[in-house]
Amino acid sequence: MGKNMSKPDKLRVKSGPEYPAKGEARRGRPEKKPPLAPVYRRLRGYAFDPSLSVQLDTAIINENVYKVKWENDDDNGGEGLMPGPVGEYLEVVDYDPASGCFYGPVDLNDPNLLAQDGLPPSEGNPQYHQQMVYAVAMTTIHNFERALGRPALWAPRDKGNGGDYVQRLRIYPHALREANAYYSPHKKALLFGYFPASSDRPGRFMPGGMVFTCLSHDIVAHETTHALLDGMHRRFIEASHQDSLAFHEAFADIVALFQHFSFPDALRHQIGRTRGDLSSPNLLGELAQQFGEAVGNYGALRSAIGQFNPATGKWEPHQPDPDEYQTTTEPHARGAILVAAVFEAFLAIYKRRIADLMRIASSGTGALPEGELHPDLVNRLASEASKSAQHVLNACIRALDYCPPVDINFGDYLRAIVTADTDLVPDDDLGYRVAFVEAFRRRGIYPRDIRALSVESLRWSLPRESETFFEPLGNWLRGIAGEFEYLVRRREIFEKTEIICGKLHKWIEDEGHYALQNLRQDTGITFEYNLEGLRGEKEVNKIPKFEVHSLRPAHRVGPDGNALNQLIISLIQSRKLKLDPTAPEERSNMMLFRGGCTLILDLDAMRVRYAIKKDIADKMRLDIHRRYRSGLALEGSLQNTYFRNIDKGVGEPLALLHRSYDYGRP
Amino acid sequence: MLKREVRVRMYKQGLGDCFLLTFPRESRPFHLLVDCGALNSRHYDSELMREVVQDIAEVTGGRIDALVATHEHWDHISGFHSSQAQELFDDIKVERVWVAWTEDPDSEDARELKKEFGKHKIAVQMAINRLPDDVMEGGLLGHYRKAITELFGFFGGLGAAGDSKTSAAWEYLLGKGPNLYCDPKNRPFELKGVEGIRVYVLGPPADISMIRKLLSSKETYHGAEPNFARFESFLNAVAPDCDPLDNRLNFPFEARYRIAQEEAKQTPFFMERYGFDAGAEEEWRRIDSDWLSVAGELALHLDSYTNNTCLAFAIELIESGKVLLFPGDAQVGNWLSWGDLFWKVKDADGKTQRVTINDLLARTVFYKVGHHGSHNATLRAHGLEKMESPDLVAMIPVHRKTAKDQDWEFPFPPLYKRLKERSRGRVLLADFKSIQEIAKEAQKYLSPDEWEAFTEATKFEELYIEHSIPY
């Protein structure tokens, strides 16, 4: 991520006027051609949530115009954006079961709405709520696609063996009557709740006034991110390590936070108010203001920079504590450590980028003149802040491609960020990567298996020995790699991927495993029956069962013009083992232990660049896993005692996560 | 000279509590009955309960000196219900009924708690009634309904609001004799006519905010004290008398925005996107009952809530300093509140001593394990770890087959393991057949003499397990 990064990454996403519809281009009579479809649909929404609109100070900045990708008729199988809104990615269905009624769908293509950027913000109009969730969710999806350079896919509907394509994420803006909102992996749906504000400490609200979680940018972005992350990494929802659920939460918060910096009015306002110092209390670094206060907190639900201390009655900045990572276990609190680390990296980058501006503005003294900042300076600072935020967000999202497919921890994520960034931006002249490493180090987040905490050693290592071992795989893939280039429709991509995964699985089973077994050390999975609890029967299956978990292309162009053309494959294997090895083999004492790898293949050179593994035979990891799982039981909630079988089998992991620990923390 | 020895008899009436303590006394022994109940189960029936109560009647000669009713849960008081052994209790005279101060009709706090509790109990029942009742067809929510219903087994199942079987049993036992409202603020008291015994009331806490503290402090987050208030709008929605006109403010939007179900079923958008028919393509994504799942959380709250209002007490055998601990099913909030208590009492030599819960725990030689050995009814650092006596014996009133049917981990394995370590192998489960079940493990910890003393003091019978403690 160098300073030239403002150039957007090359996109494979079809959008806007660069891609005129085929029919029109062929006709060749430009003067008769109807005007091109717009690039964006402009939709009004709250920049934060409704609570800021009732304060004089923030009312003017709280209305943001979300510029949402215009959904072409052509993109959508000839349908365009339909009432609901129902588009290519999302379908909003407004059913309120607690009130026993439905709310009619908003038609954003109504000329009256097109002419005024959608409905004006209103808490009392459910159609506006539909517009708001659509706008925020689409913005979040867009950020993902931009960073990853490919269309976003939702997790398939799991049917045991493979899964069905799910085109649209379902959104229910008024599904629950409680202070909660969650992503349901079973329904591929976001469920938002509403509830009356706490009457104990009403703060800015009318006691008992309704609070709608679907009107909070932060909550909608957070839940949409859960769904997007699940679409990429389905196994991250499994609690296999103290960090796994915390990572899901933290990542969702990171996306919500950095999207704040794309609201120009709010950004300028807050920069002005804090005189450019974003580490002082400000709205940009806080999440879910209204929700936090409505459930009885003293301020925002979570903050990346500091919090109100009820003991002293004062706002206090977060102090990084190297022990924190060792001692905090509750997923949200643990996630907050990761969020704070990433935010600190952002602040360091931002400070570095504005150092020259500050010198100019303070005539080299470092002390800005009294009074308000010059609007030009505010604009420049805002532009640097927004750029830094976008870079950090992009780096965080891109790193997902460099994560192991199972059992992620924060250390792995740091390595993924560093590696992804090194690949794309070889020349780190602004020290972005060092900023990340330092912020993580200050919180005691270290990967377990590296010798030194430097950018160089954090980068995932290249496969041992030589990549020639992977030649058979490379040769096999050469045939199919090109096919992705021409796919644009999400369904086609999904179906093609399924077919190729199936073929790859068969190829490995039939012949590839001879070569791959030599690479056990790199792939982290085994092709021989040499470990306890492997699945498959020796007589029927030549090799133990494994899964070609995902396969996705990544095409990206860095700021220096270097292009990445990669194929990312992940393989997963599971072992069914006893939780307590000394206890009998009972259902309640069994657990799944997974291992696997993410292989990153360079499609141009046809070689493996990285093999990011979680070894299925790793005894130390198994120990940690066991300790975590039994600890989970030890610290268990009542929920665990009585609803155990339900949680395990068919429950909503995120719904319960949000409930059982702390009330209504989306 | 009386043989100074208290006999603790744990009955095997099923998954529930029933303990009979017998103290020597000049006239006739003093009989203290702590609870008498069992969850319903396919492994036993009310006939077993009647046998147990028959035994109690015989041993006590039809006269119980004190009946302790720790809390209003079916598994602690079912024996008093007419469907079980009420008619046998009709012939047993009870001198005194000990209950927690939260039953005192003259206490304003107690009345407030009762009101709050009753309201939420009804709400959970209403919510459950709206969940699909078929496990096969209802899928997840069907399971959920089943689980909550089982959980409500503690409340005697789901009768019509207000007249559940548990309430009936409770009312009956309160009427068995004059009530003694036990309050930790009061001084320790003695048993009538029994020498060298003192009873300390530990809980429920006198401060009702401790009772409302439903989860451990670790699990709560600063500033946001969990309370029932946040269920308010949910409760209004499930309430049976939810009249749209009276409850306008319960609806998030004005009436003109609302499309009724019937109308939506005729609307193409909802027909296509939501799909109302069974088996329709979109069925898997419907959310008709998801909002009700909060009822499970509420039910859990009610459960802990009752367990927190549970009467917990300790019996001190003054001369020897030994302590018998009966925490009922007290949970975290209840346990933690004991830390604030202290009592001034005279020790064996007549000197005034200040006693705290730590003193009592350190001298505990008998521990009735709370809540059938669940993970959250025995405090670790401030509970079990402080029970330092080398003579500690623990009894767990549990019926593992019944617990297993519900997939409940009673006793909770890590706790069970630790209990065995602390008591040096002397943990007695109510469903044990003979002492052989612990012999091998206990003999690893105990010297041959200790083992012999233990086996001599412990008796296994068809209906009960008995352990005697000299003092």
Which pLDDT score, from 0 to 100, does residue A283 have? 86
Q: Are residues A641 and B376, on separate chains, in Cβ contact within 8 Å?
A: yes
Summarize chain B as % helix, strand, coil (round to 5): 40, 20, 40
Task: Check pLDDT > 80 for residue B245.
Answer: no
Cα–Cα distance, B46 to B59 (Å, whole number): 20
In percent, the amount of chain B with pLDDT more than 70 equals 84
Which pLDDT score, from 0 to 100, does residue B394 have? 96
For every residue of A206-259, DSSP letters joined together read -TT-EEEGGG-HHHHHHHHHHHHHHHH-GGGGS--SHHHHHHHHHHHHHHHHHH
Residue of chain B whose alpha carbon sits nearest to that of A176: B291
Supply the ipTM of this predicted assembly. 0.81
Choose, out of B130, B154, B228, B253, the residue to mutate when testing the contact with A (most A CBs < 10 Å).
Answer: B253
Higher pLDDT, A465 or A581: A581
Higher pLDDT, A619 or A92: A92
Question: A588 in the Ramachandran plot: left (φ > 0), alpha (ψ -120 to 50) or beta?
Answer: alpha
Q: CB distance from B270 to chain A under 8 Å?
A: yes
In percent, the amount of chain A with pLDDT more than 90 equals 30
Cα–Cα distance, A202 to A208 (Å, whole number): 8
Q: What is the pLDDT of residues A419-476, one digit of tens each?
A: 999 988 888 888 899 999 999 999 888 887 787 888 888 888 876 655 565 666 777 7
Cα–Cα distance, B297 to A638 (Å, whole number): 9
Q: What is the pLDDT of residues B278-322, one digit of tens each?
A: 777 788 888 887 777 777 777 777 777 777 789 999 999 998 999
Q: CB distance from B26 to chain A under 8 Å?
A: no
Assign B133 a pLDDT band (cuts: 50, 70, 90): low
Give the A:B interface size as CB pairs under 8 Å: 195
Q: Are residues A651 and B140, on separate chains, in Cβ contact within 8 Å?
A: yes
Choose, out of B126, B233, B420, the residue to mutate when testing the contact with A (most A CBs < 10 Å).
Answer: B233
- The token duo for A641 is 């005692």
Q: What is the pLDDT of residues B346-400, one digit of tens each?
A: 877 888 889 999 999 999 999 999 989 887 778 877 888 899 999 999 999 999 9
pLDDT average, residue stretch B247-261: 79
pLDDT average, residue stretch A607-613: 85
Least confident of A110-119, A505-514, B142-151, B211-220: B211-220
Helix extents (H) in A328-470: 331-361, 375-398, 410-424, 432-441, 455-458
Contacts of A378-382 with CB under 8 Å at 24 or more apart are: A378/A268, A378/A271, A378/A272, A378/A276, A379/A268, A380/A354, A381/A271, A381/A276, A381/A354, A381/A357, A382/A264, A382/A267, A382/A268, A382/A271
List the end-to-end C-alpha distance of chain A, in Å, as a whole number: 31
Residues from chain A contacting residue B249 (CB–CB below 8 Å)? 208
pLDDT average, residue stretch A602-631: 84
In percent, the amount of chain B with pLDDT more than 90 equals 47
Cα–Cα distance, B119 to A40 (Å, whole number): 52
Q: What is the pLDDT of residues A490-531, one digit of tens each?
A: 888 888 888 888 888 888 887 766 666 666 777 888 888 888
Q: What is the pLDDT of residues A298-339, one digit of tens each?
A: 667 778 788 777 777 777 888 888 888 888 877 778 888 999
Q: Are residues A310 and B221, on separate chains, in Cβ contact within 8 Å?
A: no
Q: CB distance from B254 to chain A under 8 Å?
A: yes
pLDDT average, residue stretch A383-411: 93
Nearest-neighbour CA in chain B from A332: distance (Å): 11
Cα–Cα distance, A6 to A563 (Å, whole number): 16
Cα–Cα distance, B463 to A7 (Å, whole number): 81
Burial of A414 (0-12, 13-18, 19+ CB in 10 A): buried
Which pLDDT score, from 0 to 100, does residue B131 have? 67
Higher pLDDT, B456 or B158: B456
Which pLDDT score, from 0 to 100, does residue A209 have? 75
CB burial string A95-121: b at 16+ within 10 A, e below: bbbbbebbbbbbebeeeebeeebbbeb
Task: Check pLDDT > 90 for residue A413.
Answer: yes
Task: Check pLDDT > 60 for residue B136.
Answer: no
Element (DSSP H or E) covering residue A23: helix A22-27
Contacts of A596 (CB under 8 A, 6+ apart): A404, A405, A406, A523, A524, A525, A546, A547, A549, A570, A571, A572, A573, A613, A614, A616
Which pLDDT score, from 0 to 100, does residue A348 have? 94
Helix extents (H) in B213-325: 232-238, 261-264, 268-273, 294-308
Q: Which of residues 357-396 of B touch A (CB under 8 A)?
A: 374-376
- What Cα–Cα distance (Å) separates residue A176 from each residue in A48, A182, A296, A486, B261? 21, 10, 19, 42, 17
Cα–Cα distance, B122 to B127 (Å, whole number): 9
pLDDT average, residue stretch B323-338: 87
What amino acid is encoded at A534 in this protein?
A: L
pLDDT average, residue stretch B457-461: 95
For residue A193, which of A99, A116, A280 has the smallest C-alpha distance? A99
Residue B395 pairs in a beta bridge with B368, B428
Mean pLDDT across chain B: 83
Nearest-neighbour CA in chain B from A107: distance (Å): 12
- Contact predicate A108/A43, CB 8 Å: yes
pLDDT average, residue stretch B465-471: 94
Residues from chain A contacting residue B128 (CB–CB below 8 Å)? none
Neighbours of B137 (CB within 10 A): 10
Q: What is the pLDDT of residues A146-204, one digit of tens each?
A: 898 888 999 998 765 567 899 999 999 999 888 888 898 888 999 998 887 765 554 56
Cα–Cα distance, B285 to B304 (Å, whole number): 33
- The token duo for B343 is 């009592």
- Contact predicate B431/B398, CB 8 Å: yes
Least confident of A250-254, A338-342, A655-659, B18-22: A655-659
- What Cα–Cα distance (Å) separates residue A304 from each residue in A250, A390, B253? 10, 17, 34
Q: What is the pLDDT of residues A232-275, one digit of tens each?
A: 998 888 878 888 888 998 999 999 999 999 898 899 999 998 88
- The token duo for A287 is 């999440």
Residues from chain A contacting residue B225 (CB–CB below 8 Å)? 296
Task: Check pLDDT > 50 for residue A14.
Answer: no
Higher pLDDT, B357 or B241: B357
Least confident of A27-31, A364-368, B304-308: A27-31
Nearest-neighbour CA in chain A from B223: distance (Å): 5
In percent, the amount of chain A with pLDDT more than 70 equals 81
